[in-house]
């Protein structure tokens, strides 16, 4: 079946819900700045659900997500986006 999910050993895999996953992207991104171009190499994109991301930040440093994203989360909730 074309487009079917594949396991790491290339066998067909049964789709399953998950809170997080990692996607290999192997990309370079050049950002122009005042000091000249900076090249960022992205190997993997770690994708989280909102719940999993909040748990990750809690695990890293207590309520770090509130310090970093608090205003954005409250603003989005106030607009009914979350």
pLDDT score recorded for residue 13: 74
Q: Which residue has the tokens 């440093």?
A: 61
pLDDT score recorded for residue 62: 59
Query: Does residue 2 lie within any of the structural domains?
Result: no
Burial of 73 (0-12, 13-18, 19+ CB in 10 A): middle
Runs of H (alpha helix) within 2-49: none
Phi then psi dihedrals of residue 23, to 5 deg: -120, 125
Query: Domain limits at 51?
Result: 20-78
* Count of the separate structural domains present in the chain: 1
Share of the chain above pLDDT 70, in %: 87
| Residues lower than pLDDT 50 in the chain | 1
Query: Does residue 1 lie within any of the structural domains?
Result: no
Helix, strand, coil: what percent of the chain each, to 5?
A: 35, 35, 30
Query: Does residue 14 lie within any of the structural domains?
Result: no
What's the pLDDT tens digit per position in 33-55? 888 999 999 899 889 999 998 88
Query: Does residue 35 lie within any of the structural domains?
Result: yes
pLDDT score recorded for residue 1: 43
């Amino acid at each position: 079946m074309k487009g079917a999910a594949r396991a790491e050993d290339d066998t067909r895999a049964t789709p399953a819900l998950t809170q997080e996953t990692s996607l290999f992207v192997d990309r370079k991104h050049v950002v122009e700045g005042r000091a000249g171009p900076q090249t960022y190499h992205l190997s993997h994109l770690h994708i989280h659900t909102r719940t999993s991301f909040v748990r990750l930040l809690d695990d890293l440093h207590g309520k770090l997500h509130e310090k970093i994203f608090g205003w954005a989360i409250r603003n989005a909730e106030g607009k009914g986006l979350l």
